Amino acid sequence: MRQFGNLAIIIFGPPGSGKGTQAQLLADKLDYVHFDTGRYIRELLYNPKFNKNKTIKKERQLNKSGKLNTTPWVLKIVDKKIDEINRLKKGIILSGSPRTILEAFGNNKNRGIMKVLEKDYGKKNIFIFVLNIPEKESIKRNSHRLICSVCRSPILGIIKRCNIKICPFCGGKLESRFDDKKEIVVQRMKEYRRQTYPIIKELKKRKFKIININAAAMPYKIYSQISKKILNK
């Protein structure tokens, strides 16, 4: 394995492309921290402790309707987390952010995520993967996705055909994710296209390393493509 400083890896992909799974596999392999922004945000938003918090209530409504959360709020959370992980001398894997141009590049009021990553990890250590998957496949996978009611492990739609009834990790009961209803998935995909495509275009312009991956294959195949790119570069 080649020697390198800690990397910052960003994985883009529409809902159902398996970006969370890939991020987790990489994190286990490299001993990096997988920062799943979506999951982290959901945990904050649906923590009953914050039921009276006005900001959280507003952001919760946005999340429920499948819309993106407001940028300054997301940036504050994500920037803090990136710095925290870097201070632990760990590489980072982001799945689920940046989701907008503003989140990625910031403005005069907010420092964007790319700036924070460049400062903490160095531009040459940033790897960006784009998982591509046909829309139909994305919907199919999302509508089959289950999650463990106890440990929150996701069961992939692609694997569910094996007819698993309980969580293979802890034996907990499996449930559907409430935001995986078809119309919400469609809305999230629309948001992904509208918001993420321009980020990828801008990242290219700014000469970041971007690697496209065909994500219609089984997760282990996608993983081997990604890890080759990282380890052999």
The binding site for Zn ion (CB under 5 A) comprises 148, 150-151, 153, 167, 169-170, 172
For Zn ion, give the closer residue by CB, 25 or 155.
155
As given in the structure block, the two tokens for residue 76 are 């504050």
Based on CB atoms, which residue is closest to Zn ion, 92 or 148?
Answer: 148
> Residue 101: which region, alpha, beta or left (left: phi > 0; alpha: psi -120 to 50)?
alpha
Q: How far apart are CA 94 and CA 117, in angstroms?
A: 10
For the bound state, the minimum distance from the C-beta of residue 151 to Zn ion, rounded and expressed in Å, comes to: 3
Query: Can you read off the two tokens belonging to residue 150?
Result: 């106890």
Phi, psi for residue 146 in degrees, rounded to 5: -120, 160
Distance CA 122, CA 158 (A): 36
Q: Which is nearer to Zn ion, 151 or 231 (CB)?
A: 151
- Cα atoms in the 13 Å half-sphere on the side-chain side of 118: 13
Closer residue to Zn ion, CB minimum distance, 122 or 171: 171
Q: With respect to Zn ion, which residue has the nearer C-beta, 140 or 177?
A: 177
- Element (DSSP H or E) covering residue 226: helix 219-232
Shortest CB 161 distance to Zn ion, Å: 19
CB of 24 to Zn ion, least distance (A): 14
- Partners of residue 173 on adjacent β-strands: 166
